[in-house]
Amino acid sequence: MAARQGRLGSQVDIPSFFIQILNSIQYGLLLFLCASGLTLVFGIMGVINLAHGSLYMIGAYLAFSLSEHLGSLWLALPVGVVLAVVFGAVLEWLLIERLYKREHLHQVLLTYGLILVFEELRSVIWGDDVHGVSMPPLLAASIALTDTLSYPVYRLWMSGVCLVLALLMAWVLLRTRLGMIIRAGSVNSEMVQSLGINIGVIHRIVFAAGVGLAAFAGMLAAPVSSVFPGMGNQVLIICFVVVVIGGIGSLKGALVGAILIGVVDTFGKVLTLEIAGVKILPELAGMSIYLLMAVILIWRPEGIFGKVRS
């Protein structure tokens, strides 16, 4: 994904190490944005949504189309988020709502069907080509670190936006009345219902927010990763790894998992280059995140912040 584009010489000096750190964090935060929706929807409604990655892809394609039509990513972002949230609410109303009481297997099946539908709709609407999305001019510059190394402003901005959103999410969940209801509803929805709160509305809000987050992550990533078929599935699998590492249902876990993956993925590539010297299967670096997952599974099968089943 995004971090793959970071270029680096074969020896690691301080500035390039610094760049890798920034890349790790930026990639991690973006993953967090995407994984948080997945983990929230599971934690609160108990639904595993395989189509989450497709929503990321839809976000990226929306960024592509909207910024062409509206002339700027600045306009595309808010319009795209609104569209995605509305889409999410409709999706919840039409289909997802029926899954809450079902087995995981049926959830997997239905949302897998949705992946095929979304991917094909993407092909019908946008075709199968790779598209670039241009950055807003304001963010298109780079900051020089040394004479030869610089860091793009857009990536810094991305990290900043993701961080703000992470804090905002934590604030909503921990400090607001809505957040309190959501947390209570995930533990005992009957109790919440008996307080006269319509839990169905809460679920719709949470799902729509999850879709909004995934789509927003896709929009943010579009200018750096470009927009291409199948991009959602790639992200979905990595989000799974994030969630397995962090513990599903935990926002904190998603953040820690995402940053870990960001670091391991970014440095995995650098280090294999270093150790191997020559390019002996540098592609194997892609395996590093799965190795990390395997280690976590051996150490703590429920994930770092997952609840231990008793």
Partner 1 sequence: MNAQLSGMERPGRSGLAPAASAALLVILVVAMAVLPLTPLGADKFTIQLLTRIMIMAILAMSLDLAMGVCGLVSFGHAAFFGLAGYVLALVAPQGEAAGFWTSIAMAMAATAVLALVMGALVLRTTGVYFIMVTLALAQMLYFLFHDTKLAGGSDGIYIYVRPDATLFGFRPFDLDNVQHLYYVVLVALSLSYLLLRRVLSSLFGKVMSGIRINESRMQSLGYATFRYKLVCFMLSGTFAGLAGYFAAVQFGVVNPDMLGWHLSGSAMMMVILGGMGTLWGAVIGAAAMILAEMGFQALPAVTINGSEFNLGKHWQLWMGSFIVLVALYLPQGLGGALSALWRALFARKAAPRP
For residue 187, with 0-12 CB atoms within 10 Å meaning exposed, 13-18 middle and 19 or more buried, which class applies? exposed
- Least spacing, CB of residue 309 vs partner 1, in Å: 8
Radius of gyration over alpha carbons of the chain, in Å?
Answer: 20
Which run of H or of E encompasses 143? Answer: strand 142-144
- Least spacing, CB of residue 201 vs partner 1, in Å: 22
Please identify, using beta-carbon distances, which residue of 56 and 240 lies nearer to partner 1: 240
Q: Provide the CA 85 distance to its chain's centre, in angstroms.
A: 15
Choosing from 243, 256, 264, 270, the residue that interacts with partner 1 (CB under 8 A) is 243
Per-residue interface string for the shown chain with partner 1, residues 265-294, x marking contact by CB under 8 A = ----------------x-xx-xx--x--xx
Choosing from 14, 187, 278, 298, the residue that interacts with partner 1 (CB under 8 A) is 298
For residue 26, with 0-12 CB atoms within 10 Å meaning exposed, 13-18 middle and 19 or more buried, which class applies? buried
Q: Return the range that interacts with partner 1 (CB under 8 A); candidates 5-13, 29-37, 147-155, 237-245.
A: 237-245
- Least spacing, CB of residue 283 vs partner 1, in Å: 4
CA–CA separation, 293 vs 21, rounded Å?
21
Nearest C-alpha neighbor of 37 from the set 260, 183, 206, 225: 206
Please report whether residue 55 would count as binding partner 1 according to CB under 8 A.
no
Identify whether the C-beta of residue 36 lies closer than 8 Å to the C-beta of residue 213: yes
CA–CA separation, 230 vs 122, rounded Å?
10
Please report whether residue 32 would count as binding partner 1 according to CB under 8 A.
no
CA–CA separation, 234 vs 111, rounded Å?
16
- Least spacing, CB of residue 276 vs partner 1, in Å: 13
Per CB under 8 A, contacts with partner 1 among 72-131 are 95, 98, 101-106, 108-110, 112-121, 123-124
Please identify, using beta-carbon distances, which residue of 13 and 120 lies nearer to partner 1: 120
Residues that bind partner 1 (CB under 8 A): 42, 48, 95, 98, 101-106, 108-110, 112-121, 123-124, 233, 237, 240-241, 243-244, 248, 281, 283-284, 286-287, 290, 293-294, 297-298, 301-303, 309
